[in-house]
A and B are shown apart, each in its own frame.
Chain A
Amino acid sequence: MKGEGTRVERTKPDGKKYDILIAGVGGQGVVLASRMLALTAIKTGFHVSTAETIGMSQREGSVSSHVRIGDEISGSLIPAGKADLLIGLEPAETVRNLPFLKKNGKVIVNSHTIPPASKPPGSPEYDPEALLSFLEAHFPGMICLDFTRLAEEVGTYRAANVAMLGAAAGMDILPFSRETIMAVLETEIPEKHRAVNRAVFEGAIEKIKLISAPLNGEQKVKSNV
């Protein structure tokens, strides 16, 4: 935190509003993904407010970031039932944040599971299969892939967050272009990690292209790549 954000020129956009919630586990890069989306939105000419989990809960705990993009400055918390898009880096954290999603909101979920580090007595079991079938039953249009594996195959499992940004860009549901996100990634990611992140981002876009042009026009995808 050096207080030196990206300098951008603000132009007046034509009155759009878009709320994105990113959820995951501490260490998965939720905050970085949120920063990329926020910077891209600002570069496109929008105002952005984000709210994040910072501090103790980052250690292996649930982490989320609310990214509110629009013409007006708004409060940083997405109201329940208003998120246009939920990006879940882990199945349980995706389900935990469903109350924020609006009716017919879009869901992108990473099927890669992370069991909780501890289980307080009397708490429910962590059951990833039940989580994924629950999500599939309620959100037939969602994109569900093992983004961790996708990122690992291209270079590093750590870039699952960037893979999911690639998926969102590939779905053409964001209020800005994939080229603008790519440009932000180029300037924000340190040189030594840049090539691999670019490859992961583009790999995810390709993957989405493949699965969104299916034979029967359905956009349903099984949880394994």
Chain B
Amino acid sequence: MTMREYMLGNVAIARGLLEGSVQVIAGYPGTPSSEIIDTLASREDQDYHIEWSVNEKVAMEVAVGAAWAGVRSVVTMKHVGLNVAADPFMTLAYAGTKGGLIAIVADDPSCHSSQNEQDTRRYARFALVPCFDPSTPQEAKDMIPYAFEFSEKFEIPVIFRPTTRISHGKSDIELGEVPSDKPVPHFEKLLDRWVMLPKNARPRHTHLLSIQQPIEDALAESPWNSLELKPDARLGVIGAGIASVYAKEALQELGLEASFLKIGTYPVPKKLILELLSTVDTVIIFEELEPVVEEQVRMIAQESGLEVSIIGKTGGFVPREGELDINAFLEALKKAFDLEVEPETGGVSLELAPRPPALCAGCSHRATFYSMKKVFGKDAIYPSDIGCYTLGIQSGTVETTLCMGSSISIASGLYHAGEKRPICCSIGDSTFFHTGMNSLLNAVFNKANITVTILDNRITAMTGHQPNPGVGFTVTGEPTVEVSLAELCRAMGAEFVTVVDPYRLEETQEAFKAAKDFEGTAVVIAKQPCVISGKRAGIRRVPYIVDPEKCEGCKQCVKFGCPAIEFDEDNKCAVITAICSGCGVCAQICKFEAIKEVKR
């Protein structure tokens, strides 16, 4: 009998951090990683420092400082966040750490909520650091204290890489103890370690290479890799991370006898791979995204001269994109052995209307985009960025999205290329603080004639309403300085900066007109709290209603696209539903004064 709790994978990871005596936690929100910090920030007894940093590079460096002071630190981010933090991370591998440092980098196979599906295990090999790849939420929790110890033993940062199905899966979790004693921070002035001058960096690179074999040997002995040899099996299966669970279940379903190697750490356990290869004729490698394990298996087979047929991504047996599941394993078997394995299914389907996500009823982004489109027109170019507002693609005002902060710099590039059409880009408040600031500074400095719209909804909304430097409180709710976006833009040299309430259409459109006419980089800040966080903070507005007597059925309000506005085809009249949040924008759009506040 054991005590179990039903937990989200990210909550289990947060628990693992407590069981691993973490002292400093930093990160930047990004699906599917955000709930780790959200969970730890909402706890009552906090004997650790926790923060949402302004971006992943900054968060990484905060964690590095803490680890160099000898305490255990963690930095959390999504996979693309490591691109931002790669600069400190690559050299940190040389310098190493004192206290344990875990970079939790959550991958998103299938791009459920991401712009790409890069495989963080590649970064681990690139940087020559160990990587942990959990297969279940339980293992994710259990790996964390081990990863801290491992990091300290080799004085090297480690990557911990959950994927969406680990981070956003839920399971019953068996808990461990939370220790109470923690080391006292002390920064030791080891200049040959912490000052990466060429003369120090060269020997640290040599050192990093020299510990690769000991690291691999230690990981091979860890509980996260396991080899099950079946005496008469000629088939071997290697499963990595969560894919190992799918492969195992598929083998059980089929009743297939196979030797099984489960891999949960990198560098891969070469010893175990060699042991498996020497007992089987064929090996299937099942891993999500890149053929990281497969390339190693092929090298080992070649070096050892073993004649083993290797089935993986090379040859197209296992897909290199998207997430895997049990059926992907059955497909691989089918292709490799010409088997007839059909998954049974209810078997019927029907062509369906898609149901894409939409901006909320009353979302201020919709209002801003409406005014922007009115003023700049169809012909203008609309670079945009990453946040809820990317859904503005449905309003025709999102025409580029590349990475965090790129909207302003892409707008600049379009202008400098000689584009003559007006250019109006949009970026959220948190994304602006993240990496958009540099782009604005650059645009002003290099005289880009563009309009920059900051969609200031006073929160980092899409990832679950995390605070940023513009909101006036920290992750724990403690009051802090509220940075003024307008003053910040002016300080960076922008000469046209204006703040508007996007719920007031006329005022907003006047501001856009002036910005469009301005020669140089103009900034329009559309300021209005997110309807969800606003409601939680107690903002209450009177909802609106359509007067069917006055409604002419012109559908101008319906075209606005608010989910609270429907059209009654029988009575040829617009209807506002119970989800109306009372922003009042549709009432300003209506030419017949048919939309009014509900009388109380």
Residues of chain A at interface, number, CB under 8 A = 68
Q: Are B7 and A57 in contact (CB under 8 A)?
A: no
Q: Does B113 contact A (CB under 8 A)?
A: yes
What size tier do the contact residues of chain B reach? 35 or more
Give A77-102 as 1s and 0s: 1 = Cβ < 8 Å from B's Cβ atoms.
10111100000000011011011111
Q: Are A3 and B6 in contact (CB under 8 A)?
A: no
Across the interface, which residues of B come within 8 angstroms of A125, CB to CB?
353
One of A73, A99, A124 near B349 (C-beta < 8 A): A99
Across the interface, which residues of B come within 8 angstroms of A126, CB to CB?
353
Task: Give the distance in Å from the alpha carbon of A42 to the alpha carbon of B326 in the complex.
Answer: 24
Give B113-150 as 1s and 0s: 1 = Cβ < 8 Å from A's Cβ atoms.
10000000000000000000000111000000000000
Task: Give the distance in Å from the alpha carbon of A152 to the alpha carbon of B92 in the complex.
Answer: 59
Using known A-B contacts A7-B5, A48-B172, A101-B346, determine if residue A120 contacts B355 with beta carbons closer than 8 Å: no
Q: Are B3 and A7 in contact (CB under 8 A)?
A: yes
Across the interface, which residues of A come within 8 angstroms of B349, CB to CB?
95, 98-99
Using known A-B contacts A3-B11, A3-B39, A61-B357, determine if residue A131 contacts B350 with beta carbons closer than 8 Å: yes
Q: Separation in Å of the B576 CB from the closest CB of chain A?
A: 14
Q: Separation in Å of the B79 CB from the closest CB of chain A?
A: 14
Q: Are B246 and A75 in contact (CB under 8 A)?
A: yes
Q: Are B358 and A60 in contact (CB under 8 A)?
A: yes
Q: Are A58 and B171 in contact (CB under 8 A)?
A: no
Q: Are A1 and B11 in contact (CB under 8 A)?
A: yes
Q: Are B344 and A49 in contact (CB under 8 A)?
A: no
Task: Give the distance in Å from the alpha carbon of A22 to the alpha carbon of B112 in the complex.
Answer: 18
Q: Does B360 contact A (CB under 8 A)?
A: yes
Across the interface, which residues of B come within 8 angstroms of A179, CB to CB?
none
Residue from A38, A74, A134 having most chain B Cβ neighbours under 10 A: A74
One of B35, B245, B344, B352 near A1 (C-beta < 8 A): B35
Q: Are A55 and B170 in contact (CB under 8 A)?
A: no
Task: Give the distance in Å from the alpha carbon of A89 to the alpha carbon of B245 in the complex.
Answer: 30
Q: Does B210 contact A (CB under 8 A)?
A: no
Q: Does A4 contact B (CB under 8 A)?
A: yes
Q: Are B38 and A73 in contact (CB under 8 A)?
A: no
Q: Are B360 and A59 in contact (CB under 8 A)?
A: yes
A-facing residues in B1-32 (Cβ within 8 Å): 1-8, 10-11, 14-15, 31-32
Q: Are A55 and B172 in contact (CB under 8 A)?
A: no
Q: Are A81 and B345 in contact (CB under 8 A)?
A: yes
Q: Does A54 contact B (CB under 8 A)?
A: yes
Q: Separation in Å of the A95 CB from the closest CB of chain B?
A: 5
Q: Are B354 and A10 in contact (CB under 8 A)?
A: no
Task: Give the distance in Å from the alpha carbon of A124 to the alpha carbon of B113 in the complex.
Answer: 24
Which of chain A's residues has its CB closest to B135's CB? A75
Across the interface, which residues of A come within 8 angstroms of B255, CB to CB?
none
Task: Give the distance in Å from the alpha carbon of A62 to the alpha carbon of B353 in the complex.
Answer: 11
Q: Does B417 contact A (CB under 8 A)?
A: no
Task: Give the distance in Å from the alpha carbon of A51 to the alpha carbon of B11 in the complex.
Answer: 14
A-facing residues in B155-177 (Cβ within 8 Å): 165, 168-173
Which of chain A's residues has its CB closest to B244's CB? A75
Q: Are B355 and A93 in contact (CB under 8 A)?
A: yes
Using known A-B contacts A11-B1, A50-B169, A74-B249, determine if residue A120 contacts B113 with beta carbons closer than 8 Å: no
Across the interface, which residues of B come within 8 angstroms of A118, CB to CB?
356, 358, 394, 561
Q: Separation in Å of the A139 CB from the closest CB of chain B?
A: 8
Q: Are B1 and A10 in contact (CB under 8 A)?
A: yes
Task: Give the distance in Å from the alpha carbon of A102 to the alpha carbon of B55 in the complex.
Answer: 45
Using known A-B contacts A6-B6, A57-B357, determine if residue A48 contacts B32 with beta carbons closer than 8 Å: no
Q: Does A26 contact B (CB under 8 A)?
A: yes
Q: Does A181 contact B (CB under 8 A)?
A: no
Task: Give the distance in Å from the alpha carbon of A57 to the alpha carbon of B245 in the complex.
Answer: 26
Q: Are A47 and B172 in contact (CB under 8 A)?
A: yes
Task: Give the distance in Å from the alpha carbon of A131 to the alpha carbon of B353 in the complex.
Answer: 11
Q: Separation in Å of the B25 CB from the closest CB of chain A?
A: 14
Across the interface, which residues of A come within 8 angstroms of B65, CB to CB?
none
Q: Does B563 contact A (CB under 8 A)?
A: yes
Q: Are A102 and B355 in contact (CB under 8 A)?
A: no
Q: Are A48 and B1 in contact (CB under 8 A)?
A: no
10 contacts between A and B (CB under 8 A): A35-B6, A35-B170, A54-B32, A59-B388, A60-B563, A76-B169, A77-B325, A95-B352, A99-B345, A103-B346
Contact residues of B with A, CB < 8 Å?
1-8, 10-11, 14-15, 31-32, 35, 38-39, 42-43, 112-113, 136-138, 165, 168-173, 242, 245-246, 249, 325-327, 343-360, 388, 391, 394, 462-464, 561, 563, 566
Known: A38-B170, A103-B347. 20 other contacts (CB 8 A): A1-B42, A3-B7, A3-B15, A5-B6, A9-B3, A47-B172, A48-B6, A49-B171, A51-B170, A54-B168, A55-B32, A56-B31, A60-B360, A76-B169, A79-B327, A95-B350, A102-B346, A116-B356, A118-B356, A127-B353
Shortest 9 CB-CB contacts between residues of A and residues of B:
A81-B345, A5-B5, A101-B346, A61-B357, A76-B169, A117-B358, A79-B326, A117-B563, A126-B353
